[in-house]
Amino acid sequence: MTRIAIMGAAGRMGRILIEATDAADGAELGAALVLPNDSLLGNDAGEMAGLGKKLNVSLISDLAASLNDFDVLIDFTSPAATMQNVQACKAAGKGIVIGTTGLTDEQKVELNAAAKDMKIVFAPNYSVGVNLVLNLLRMAASVMGEESDIEVIEMHHKHKVDSPSGTALRLGEVVAETMGWDLNEVANYGREGQTGARPHKEIGFQTIRGGDVVGDHTVMFATDGERVEITHKAQSRMTFAKGAVRASLWLNDQPNGLYDMQDVLGF
């Protein structure tokens, strides 16, 4: 049995992660963590998530006090908080599954260093469908990329704080890697005014924010005469939660290292 702790348990994603953990075979909720000033601190985690009091886990704010209660921490919070939690888990010999987006290049380097001494799954998206799309993009880019103008279009709810989404950036990275390009050199994150003709060696990103959209992503390969679009639309955050729990169960049996959802799924 893999004991899972959930950081940010009182948030929208945290509550769904509690539900997904409870529903998964081989998993149990070991700890549910919230901020020290959260009004729900001390409440029953299962009851908060709509599951009743069957889990017997209270919301706490001290990660250090819960280190004996879990094997893997799931963290979908903020970059600064996540990096602190990585160090705490490393010191305690715990695994961590990271769904936080917006990490800097320096923070990603720090993750690589930490993974020498701990188990980490770090992925911008835990949806099985999105990870299938990554493989489809490799095929499309290898076949059509040289002839295509490539655009990444994404839409999320109005509360999302980072842009483009971590998933959109990963989609662009996969295309760029397949093409032998450096995404930092070919990415265009917005057009305005007299921009001139579009250069061929470019990956454009278009970001839309509004309403309660969970997450829509499209990668377009446009040529003279035809267009191929590969699209994924998430209709529920439960998709991501189930994937994160699946990653936690998988990670618990792995050696130290930095993994992503492609590793978890065996792609």
Residues labelled as active-site residues: 156, 160
The answer to whether the CB of 203 falls within 8 A of the CB of 183 is yes
Q: Are 158 and 210 in contact (CB under 8 A)?
A: yes
Residues 128 and 49: their CA atoms lie apart, in Å, by 24
Nearby residues of 100 by Cβ (< 8 Å), 6 or more positions away:
75, 76, 77, 78, 79, 81, 82
And the tokens for 222?
A: 């446009």
Compute how many other C-beta atoms are within 10 angstroms of the C-beta atom of residue 259: 19
Other CB atoms within 10 Å distance of the CB of residue 132: 15
Helices (H) and strands (E) in the chain, counts: 9, 12
Sheet containing 2-7, strands listed edge to edge, beginning at the edge strand earlier in sequence: 59-60, 27-33, 2-7, 72-75, 95-98, 119-122, 257-259
For β-strands 257-259 and 149-156, DSSP reports them as unpaired
